Amino acid sequence: MNDHSPRALRPYVPVRPPQGPRVANHRQMLTLSLAPLLVASAAFVVFLLSALLLDARVGIAYFGADADHFSVLEHQLVHHRAARFHPAMIVLGLGWMKSFAPLAAWIAPHVLLKAMFAAVGAAGVYAAISVFSMMLPRGYALLGGILYGSSLGVWYFSAIPESKILTATLSVFYIAAYLRLRQRWTMPGTIGLTAILAIACLNEIVSAFLIAIPLVDLLLRRGLDWKHGRWIAAHVLVALVAWFVLEVFVNGGLVPESNKPEMQSHFAMLLYYIASNDYSLASIHGFISNWFFFNIVAPTPHALWWREHGGYFQPSLAAYFWSPYALGVLALVAVAAAAALLPRYRAPSLGPAGSLLLPLAAYAAIRTTFFLIFNPAEPLLFSPAVTLAHWLILLVPFAASRFPAKRALLTALSVLLVVTNAGFMVGPDGWTGLAARLAGP
């Protein structure tokens, strides 16, 4: 297997360095082992700094985020709506704040809480690198992790108190665990995958859509094979049990029942939103713009200039014409997509990794369809959970293609993506405004 062939579906282990002096080998292996941890640690620092910047300019409630529902965790309080629909996030937040309470004498509680969300996002980056290492050729995993972590949806929701980053991170953990299980089926691995699904469903019940990945994969590989698919039936049962727990024990039990009709149950909320949604062509255009594009890159470094609508981008791809940097990101993504599709560059075979693209696409398509029906007005709230799937669908064919200078292109894409989305985090006043704020009065 050469350096350009996918190390598909193999457990994430450091690549063995070339033979040479023992000390050199040891150092290279240590570097390869530490690299994902260093990238994840850098992501944590960036997410935490971004959280402080967003907080300073009152930027934690864009895109319909319910940051106020989770900010009360810094005082170890519980917002009933958050607990009703996202109890896993509430339990994690309370546990985090209680565990780090002794540090409150030196670190403000709101900073401790921000550190938790940044840590959840950074854990997702680390897991994403593991996934990329199994799905992409040697040497692309870190670039994939940087692209995932610097995507706008992942970055923003890692920097504000919201449940959406936990949903996204658990989806990445699920995919990583399934890839390992697919390589070598074990009962502990199956139990671990099911546990991830259970926690994900208790944080957001529609995380049950993750079941589409192993289900479609099994159908493609074995057809209707009950013998090898019995564990998926148990998987589905766990999602149903999670829903039952949310509706029976949490809603109206642990958490007082709401007097608002749309809060009575998940089904009541679904009907309420469907009845009030706008399904015009303009609404669908806005959904697509946010779900597939704005979730990756902010359309302008002076984001949220469309202020009269409460902190949303103009819901149109035309917004990208305001930023040459964002257009550069889209141009490089288009080049990567073209290289994956054009006969001149297209790989004759994607190898084992290619067989996972359709299951990932099925998961992404189901989640996309559901939220297009459920809440087309606020897609950026729910799109981070498919960010990894979208990157894999693009990068697996591109990395296998015969396009020259692939790593150089992905490096340039990473730099442009970081710069553009960093401009969003800094705010409409730009770097000059940030310097003025840091300098003080």
Q: What are the tens digits of pLDDT across the range 336-355?
A: 999 999 989 988 888 888 88
Q: Say how many Å lie between the first and final Cα of the chain, rounded.
A: 61
* Phi, psi dihedrals of residue 251, rounded to the nearest 5°: -75, 110
Neighbours of 372 (CB within 10 A): 17
Q: What is the mean pLDDT of residues 83-108?
A: 92
pLDDT at position 248 is: 87
- Give pLDDT, residue 317: 86
- State the DSSP code for 15: P
Residues 326 and 333: beta-carbon distance below 8 Å: no
Indicate the pLDDT class of residue 104, thresholds 50, 70 and 90: confident
pLDDT of residue 431: 54
Tell me the percentage of the chain whose pLDDT exceeds 70: 87
Looking at the predicted structure, is the pLDDT value of residue 14 above 60?
no
Reported as a pLDDT band with limits 50, 70 and 90, residue 302 is low
What is the rounded CA–CA span in Å between residue 95 and residue 87?
12
The mean pLDDT of 33-58, rounded to a whole number, is 91
Determine the Cα–Cα distance for residues 130 and 134; give it in Å rounded to an integer. Answer: 7
Q: Is the pLDDT of residue 220 over 80?
A: yes
Decide if pLDDT at 26 tops 70.
no
* pLDDT of res. 300: 75
Higher model confidence: residue 22 or residue 139?
139
User: Coil, strand or helix: which one is 255?
Assistant: strand
- What sections of 204-265 are H helices per DSSP? 212-222, 226-244
pLDDT band at residue 301 using 50, 70 and 90 as cut-offs: low
- Distance from C-alpha of 179 to C-alpha of 234, rounded to nearest angstrom: 18
Distance (Å, whole) CA 353 – CA 366? 21
Rounded mean pLDDT, 283-296:
93
Mean pLDDT, the chain, whole residue set: 86
The answer to whether 128 touches 146, Cβ cutoff 8 Å, is: no
Could you give the dihedral angle defined by the CA atoms of residues 224, 230, 235 and 240, in that order, rounded to the nearest 10 degrees?
A: 90
**Mapping DSSP to helix (H, G, I), strand (E, B) and coil, where does residue 1 land?**
coil
Tokens of 134: 């199994």
Helices 406-426 and 141-149 pack at an angle, to 10 degrees, of 20
* 3-state DSSP assignment of residue 137: strand
* Measured CA angle at 302 (ends 375, 111), to 5 deg: 75
For the chain, count helices (H), then strands (E).
Answer: 19, 0
**Strand, coil or helix: what is 111?**
helix
Q: Could you tell me the pTM of the whole model?
A: 0.89
- With beta carbons less than 8 A apart as the criterion, state whether 21 and 91 touch: no
Query: What pLDDT is attached to residue 2?
Result: 42
The pLDDT assigned to 304 comes to 59
Predicted local distance difference test score (pLDDT) of residue 7: 45
Domain ranges of the chain: 32-439
**Cβ–Cβ < 8 Å for 376, 272:** no
What is the 8-class DSSP label of residue 378? Answer: -
pLDDT at 15: 38
Predicted local confidence at residue 198, as pLDDT: 96
